[in-house]
A = this chain, B = another copy of it.
């Protein structure tokens, strides 16, 4: 019995020293450049480390596709651990439009169906491949990339990023779904004003 007490005293002394194996985000507190402040370890439950939100998304929309994120905002246990997740669903003809993740590289694992995915490098080279279930593709950080359904049935993928907060900039939304003035879009993309205004109309942009 004394032995246990001696040993446990060692144990408590040591565990006292080791407070941050993880840092489950307290989303109510202000973020810092390294992520959110942690909730106290005593309030962390085993279920906090599990995320159940990557259910099939609703693809009844203009792109016949859905992105369901499991970033730190949805999955606070990711905070500080340098990883996040998402699920892609692509109905037939579904497209995840051209986009970038400013803060992370991405690995995509095909769950179902067939997906044509690609990215373009800084050197303007094109890397496009058509993937089957079980295949993996990596997209280097910050480069424009896309995924489209390459088959006749639905397709789905699980993706992970090496940041709890990878960001997501969808090209069409950046150009056409906000108040960036048409003349600035025209001037910086060489698209014509008619095209820009039409897409602003479709996507709810102004200016």
Contacts and interface: CB of A to CB of B under 8 A. Distances in A.
User: How many copies of this chain does one complex carry?
Assistant: 6
Interface residues of A, number: 135
A47 to B, nearest CB: 6
A185 B169 CA distance: 17
Most B CB atoms within 10 A — which of A69, A103, A118, A122?
A122
Contacts of A106: 83
A103 B69 CA distance: 23
B67 A13 contact: yes
A202 to B, nearest CB: 7
A118 B139 CA distance: 26
B141 A81 contact: yes
B189 A172 contact: yes
Given A22-B140, A74-B17, A138-B83, A178 B120 contact: yes
A41 B158 CA distance: 28
A169 B125 CA distance: 11
Interface of A: 3-4, 6-11, 13-23, 26, 29-41, 46-47, 49-52, 54-55, 60-63, 66-75, 77-83, 85-87, 95-98, 100-103, 105-107, 109, 111, 116, 118-129, 131, 134-144, 146, 148, 158, 160, 162, 165-175, 177-180, 184, 187-192, 195, 199, 202-204
